[in-house]
A and B are shown apart, each in its own frame.
Chain A
Amino acid sequence: MQNSFAYFVDQLINGLTLGSIYGLIAIGYTMVYGIIGMINFAHGEIFMIGSFVSIITFLILGMAGVTWVPLALLIVLIVAMLLTSIYGWTLERVAYRPLRGSPRLAALITAIGMSIFLQNYVQLLQGARNKPMQPVISGGVTVMQDQGYVVSLSYMQMIIIVVTVVLMAAFTLMITRTSLGRAQRACEQDRNMAALIGVNVDRTISLTFVVGAMLASVAGLMFLLYYGVIDFFIGFLAGIKAFTAAVLGGIGSLPGAMLGGLLIGLIEAFWSGYFTVEYKDVAAFSILVLVLVFRPSGLLGKPDIEKV
């Protein structure tokens, strides 16, 4: 069965779905790294909060009687993006901005501290138990059949892949074409100079966190819909995987984050499909180690060559 082409296609679909979610989170890591040179380890928790906001909004909508799925999804999407981005903004304002200009280590430790804080915050408010949700979107189409093995593409998987492609296109457009995107790139390349031509650097950094949190919240919502169960700890593993994806693609590089996310998703899916599910995390993190050893600048990152 494992030798059939259908099985391969099945894993490919799983990998793309998973990779989409990782990619959306990875953008947040790489964007923040690009602009202020720190790893925001609390970003995984922002993703988790996105999931929780989504499930709570679903429950409220259910009680309010909004049962038409497209409308409910749209409302949840908007509420999740809005509330999660407030978390992202607050995180930067409270924990990182006061440390601007202090040594990198201080910012790193604060980020880890915020990560632990947010995990416990959600655990205390929402409890430590798994939060299951009824599947909202079910069904799918059969892609192919081979030697009795049926490959199906669920509507949920389609939505995840399409939404990710759309968001990444919109995001790329924002970075390359809008004045906010230009300001972000300017701040990334020379923050002092950006201020001297009138760019409000602090606001640009805040908006970077907001955009990153929005993308993570969409990932959180899709994670919830896809797996149907979340808990306060999902941000940790997903966050670290997305971070691995960002490093694999080249931290600071936006196309790199998207590519890295996709690759990590595929590696995990194929590893689980052809070897053992138990070791899929080992595979993903071995990639992190290998990349750090052999190509620290990542696949699409530019090596740091200092001009002398």
Chain B
Amino acid sequence: MTAQAAAAGGAPDAEIPGGGAASITVEHLTMRFGGLIAIDDVSLQAATGRITAVIGPNGAGKTTVFNCLTGFYKPSVGRLILHHPRHDYLLERLEGYRTAQDAGVARTFQNIRLFPRMTVLENLIVAQHNKLMRASGYTVLGLFGFKGYRDAEAKAVELARYWLDRIHLTDKADWDAGNLPYGDQRRLEIARAMCTEPLLLCLDEPAAGLNPRESHELNSLLTYIRDQHKIGVLLIEHDMSVVMHISDHIIVLDYGRKISDGTPEQVRNDPAVIRAYLGDDEEGGGGPS
């Protein structure tokens, strides 16, 4: 019932299921492609220091939400507010790269998009590009090896090493990223996103194609990010073992509308969710036995 109420209301000031302060607030997001309505008046919030999962059947509009958040699409209606310590950013008004640079939103894709012909380490350092550009006086000073730049570079390498450790790729740091096994590439993508030092990390099906062991490793990486770095993690996932295990808060989309919003416990027992996933039942609302 509480889940239903939250879904219907979407009041921005309502407490977020799973707790925590809001990292992102999406208000009345609608996305139309010609006559097709991909997202229909969706409001949601994700909290810092929590993992928020967005689930739903195929074509529910999950990835479209991500594309709106990261500036690939301009929403037809709605506001996307990122709560930054400095001030709030309206993501729909930010130009491409500023979403990452200023607002601190990082994302990964369903299909892996590393820089395949750069080394693992370089993939992590290029993600710290803006810091380094400023430190190097836009490369001019860097070419002459000024101290400030070398320090910044050393720090960037340090951060990269830290994440390499976390994802167990330290000994493959000099490999071309494109030659890594699939599971390693997935984790490297997340590490690269983290190297931009984001406030909100959007992961689009990070567990897709992973075997159970890799998917377990992913779970511990994500909970590590949540607990140690205290940022908001927004997650699209089909793998329920991942979703139910690590999410603090679940949002369910179906046909572009939000049908449920609550803690994993609430969502699991929400009749609307069961209907969407298992089809309409004659008895209506009967939970799985």
Residues of B contacting A201 with CB < 8 Å?
A: 96-97
Closest Cβ neighbor of B130 among chain A residues:
A198
In the bound complex, do residue A197 and residue B127 qualify as a contact, i.e. CB atoms below 8 Å apart?
yes
Bound Cα distance from A197 to B96, whole angstroms: 10
Residues of A contacting B100 with CB < 8 Å?
A: 195-198
Which candidate, B136-144, B166-174, B235-243, is the interface stretch facing chain A? B136-144
B258 within 8 Å of A (CB atoms): no
Residues of B contacting A174 with CB < 8 Å?
A: 139, 143
The number of residues on chain A lying at the interface, defined by a beta carbon within 8 Å of a beta carbon of chain B, is 24
Residues of A contacting B99 with CB < 8 Å?
A: 196
Which candidate, A9-17, A154-162, A179-187, A262-270, is the interface stretch facing chain B? A179-187
Dominant secondary structure at the A interface: helix
Minimum distance in angstroms from A182 CB to a CB of chain B: 4
Residues of B contacting A126 with CB < 8 Å?
A: none
In the bound complex, do residue B115 and residue A179 qualify as a contact, i.e. CB atoms below 8 Å apart?
no
In the bound complex, do residue A182 and residue B96 qualify as a contact, i.e. CB atoms below 8 Å apart?
no
Bound Cα distance from A195 to B130, whole angstroms: 11
Interface positions of A (Cβ within 8 A of B):
170, 173-174, 178-183, 185-186, 189-190, 192-201, 207
Residues of B contacting A186 with CB < 8 Å?
A: 115, 118, 126, 129
Contact of B129 among A189, A190, A198 (CB under 8 A): A198
In the bound complex, do residue A179 and residue B193 qualify as a contact, i.e. CB atoms below 8 Å apart?
no
In the bound complex, do residue A200 and residue B101 qualify as a contact, i.e. CB atoms below 8 Å apart?
yes
Contact of A180 among B70, B139, B153 (CB under 8 A): B139
In the bound complex, do residue B132 and residue A179 qualify as a contact, i.e. CB atoms below 8 Å apart?
yes
Residues of B contacting A179 with CB < 8 Å?
A: 125-126, 129, 132-133, 136, 139, 142, 153
Within 8 A of A (CB), among B101-131: 101, 106-107, 109, 113, 115-118, 122, 125-127, 129-130
Question: A198 with B117: in contact, given A179-B139, A180-B133, A182-B129 (CB under 8 Å)?
Answer: no
Bound Cα distance from A201 to B72, whole angstroms: 14
In the bound complex, do residue B139 and residue A197 qualify as a contact, i.e. CB atoms below 8 Å apart?
no
Give the top 8 A-B pairs by smallest Cβ distance, nearest first: A179-B132, A198-B100, A198-B101, A180-B139, A195-B97, A182-B126, A197-B127, A195-B96
In the bound complex, do residue A183 and residue B129 qualify as a contact, i.e. CB atoms below 8 Å apart?
yes
In the bound complex, do residue A200 and residue B97 qualify as a contact, i.e. CB atoms below 8 Å apart?
yes
Minimum distance in angstroms from A164 CB to a CB of chain B: 18
B192 within 8 Å of A (CB atoms): yes
Contact of B126 among A170, A199, A207 (CB under 8 A): A199
In the bound complex, do residue A196 and residue B117 qualify as a contact, i.e. CB atoms below 8 Å apart?
no
B48 within 8 Å of A (CB atoms): no
Residues of B contacting A194 with CB < 8 Å?
A: 97, 115, 126
In the bound complex, do residue A178 and residue B127 qualify as a contact, i.e. CB atoms below 8 Å apart?
no
Minimum distance in angstroms from A185 CB to a CB of chain B: 6
Bound Cα distance from A181 to B133, whole angstroms: 11
Question: A190 with B115: in contact, given A182-B129, A197-B127 (CB under 8 Å)?
Answer: yes
User: 28 A-B residue contacts at CB 8 Å?
Assistant: A170-B143, A174-B143, A178-B142, A179-B132, A179-B139, A179-B142, A180-B136, A180-B139, A180-B142, A181-B139, A183-B126, A185-B122, A186-B118, A186-B126, A189-B115, A193-B113, A193-B115, A194-B115, A196-B97, A197-B129, A197-B193, A197-B196, A198-B101, A198-B129, A198-B130, A199-B130, A201-B96, A207-B139
Minimum distance in angstroms from B120 CB to a CB of chain A: 13
Bound Cα distance from A190 to B109, whole angstroms: 13
Minimum distance in angstroms from B181 CB to a CB of chain A: 15
Interface flags for B40-63 (1: CB within 8 Å of A; 0: not) read 000000000000000000000000
Bound Cα distance from A200 to B130, whole angstroms: 9
In the bound complex, do residue A197 and residue B126 qualify as a contact, i.e. CB atoms below 8 Å apart?
yes
Residues of B contacting A185 with CB < 8 Å?
A: 115, 117-118, 122, 126
Q: A174-B143, A185-B115, A185-B122 are in contact. List 7 more A-B contacts (CB 8 A).
A: A179-B133, A182-B126, A185-B118, A194-B97, A197-B126, A199-B126, A199-B130
Residues of A contacting B138 with CB < 8 Å?
A: 180
Within 8 A of A (CB), among B228-287: none
Residues of A contacting B117 with CB < 8 Å?
A: 185, 189
